[in-house]
Structure 1
Amino acid sequence: MNKKTTLSIIGIAVIILLMGICAYPVYQNLQSQEIKVSLKAPRECRIGELVTFDASGNRIEDITWNISPLTSNFKIIDDGKQAIFSSEGVGVYTVTIAIANNNEVNLIITDLTVSGNNVVNDKVRTLIDRAVDPSPKKIKNLINTLVDPNPDSPLNNLIDKIPMPLLLPEGEEQVNIDAWLPSERKPLQMRRTVRSLTVLVNLMDKDDFETKDEIVQAVLWGIKRTTKEDATWEPFILNFSKYIEDTATKQECIIRVKRVLISLQQVDNAKT
């Protein structure tokens, strides 16, 4: 073996050794520790799409989340076990979680690529197109009265009697909708959206809807009317519809609508 070959082998060995030293803490944390860390995380999403990072499958004494670059659209929920995120622009975000348990710290780092919003817009258009005028006709008339008030309409008396604010049953959790809402929104749109959802929830409690699909269509149609199809509300429409459609029963769908309504009421009250 000549000198040149020997030096090459030594060089390769040094590189491999250095790579092993650099990578060891990561692999140690993810695979070799007695306590392993798991994170359900998306790799890609679209502008305005709500995504969830889920670390709830771990035993946790303490957990720290970080996103880079920093953004106000990253929210930690479920006592630190999950985080939600919705981006207003394209780019790559790096999410890091550090979980401490039994004097061990485990680390996971993952990248999320956010791309253009064409797909989101297409989905929203499909949802709105599908959200035909709901049945019964009374619902349509109530929401139209909220959007274009008619002082002579007898429906005003019914609307004024609808209870507000709404309260969830004890033990029911709210939903964080901050990342869904447009950063700049018109107060009138917000108030009308809150009012229309309150009308619909009141009718849900009276069992005026026969199926879950009727509820979803009525909610989408109501938001479409109260926001005047403002494009800045598209992420809210998309994420709200996904949230209430992903339910097994009509009653579960109603509970989720109530959760969103309560959160909207709180946001609306904070602005006043």
Structure 2
Amino acid sequence: MAGNDNGAAAGAQTAEEKKRFRSEIEFPYTDLESAVEVAKTINVKAGSSCDVEELAAWMGQSATGGTFRTRIGAAKMFGLIEGAQGRVTLTPLGHDVLDNSGVAPGARVSAFLNVELFNAMYEQFKARTLPPPPAIERQVVELGVSPKQKDRARQTFMKSAQYAGFIDSATGRFVKPGIVQREESAPEKREEEKRRDGGNDGNEPPGLHPFVQGLLKELPKAGDVWPEEKRKLWLDTAASIFKMIYRDAPSTSDGMPWSGKE
């Protein structure tokens, strides 16, 4: 009977030990840069999606090997890929992190914060200088990382933070990097400028009243024939438009137009 009790106690202790060595918060076993390389391989070789076995071959690894599975798991945790039925596919974030138009830095920030542990560390230390490695390891254990895995968690956290730009080079503080917005394309800029200028196509100075713009468009080119009667009509029309859209200067007490000077 005593032997059974000892066996039960041993079994309970083993279960407790296993629990101690299992992390209760998610973190990748490889860093963000390594995960981006996975996304890049998919993009270069297949565009957006490929079989797991193909990806492993392109990376020179075994599809059932621990190293390959670790890198795939990290890329999924960062939100760069998703997998189903033996295939892996780039997510929109996975495409953005490879974009050369200025989107990639912001995508790296999002990928870093997708990791539960890294996001918790950001909330804990944002705008502060990160503590020494032993203190970081104590913190990740408090957040739920197994003591047995604290060193690995610290390393992937620090490497990923550096790669995503969270460590300010000037102050050493742990801060979210500023992200430059995507530049508008030239056609978009021209359309915006056109709207601001009242819709003119660039041939008239900006800020002109639409009636004046229309009036200017009626002017013939220099050297063209312009009969005197039509010139008079244009000038009369201009006078009417100017009277409608502009104000006269207020008169002074002596009836003279006010000059605007004291």
- Superposition TM-score, scaled by structure 1 size: 0.21
More strand by proportion, 1 or 2?
A: 1
- Superposition TM-score, scaled by structure 2 size: 0.22
Bigger Rg over Cα: 2
More helix by proportion, 1 or 2?
A: 2
